[in-house]
């Protein structure tokens, strides 16, 4: 059959505003979650991570919130800049015996309006 590319949800924000990107994950047993940033034509770039025993973690201008009750993850970017424009996706990691099973979300396209 014909494959159709994903239509990514897009979030448009004014430069300087805060951005919130959401992700729903599937496996309640996942140990660890990562947010990645992917610019056009490049590989995924690590932004921030959070372990399943935490509900919040802060980095430089970024905060990740984890709600295990509803299996929801969010990425907050403060004072969004044009260089933040990219596709953002979450990954859930299940560790088992030293090995990892990684499942990626579909992604959200962030457009920063100067």
Partner 1 sequence: EPEVTQTPSHQVTQMGQEVILRCVPISNHLYFYWYRQILGQKVEFLVSFYNNEISEKSEIFDDQFSVERPDGSNFTLKIRSTKLEDSAMYFCASRTTMGAADTQYFGPGTRLTVL
Query: Residue 15 Cβ, how far from partner 1 at the closest point, in Å?
Result: 27
45 binds partner 1 (CB under 8 A): yes
Task: Among 11, 62, 93, 109, indicate the residue that binds partner 1 (CB under 8 A).
Answer: 93
58 lines the binding site for partner 1 (CB under 8 A) = no
Count the residues of the shown chain that bind partner 1, applying the rule CB under 8 A.
27
Give buried/exposed letters for 57-94 (b at 16+ CB in 10 A, else e).
Answer: eeeeebbbbbeeeeeebebbbeebeeebbbbbbbbbbe
Stretch that binds partner 1, among 18-26, 36-44, 59-67, 69-77 (CB under 8 A): 36-44
Q: Contact region for partner 1 (CB under 8 A) — 20-28, 66-74, 76-84, 98-106?
A: 98-106
Q: Is residue 90 within 8 Å of residue 27, measured between CB atoms?
A: no
Residue linked to tokens 């372990």? 51
For partner 1, which residue of 85, 89, 110, 112 counts as binding (CB under 8 A)?
89
Residues 40, 30, 54, 33, Cα dihedral to 10°: -10
């Amino acid at each position: 059959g014909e494959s159709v590319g994903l239509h990514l949800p897009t979030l448009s924000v004014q430069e300087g505003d805060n951005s919130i990107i959401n992700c729903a994950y599937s496996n309640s047993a996942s140990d660890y979650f990562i947010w990645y940033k992917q610019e056009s034509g490049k590989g995924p770039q690590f932004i921030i991570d959070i372990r399943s025993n935490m509900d919040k973690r802060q980095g430089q201008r970024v905060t990740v919130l984890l709600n295990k009750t509803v299996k929801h993850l969010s990425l907050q970017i403060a004072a969004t800049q044009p260089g933040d424009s990219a596709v953002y996706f979450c990954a859930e990691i299940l560790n088992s015996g030293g090995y990892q099973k990684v499942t990626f979300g579909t992604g959200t396209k962030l457009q920063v309006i100067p």
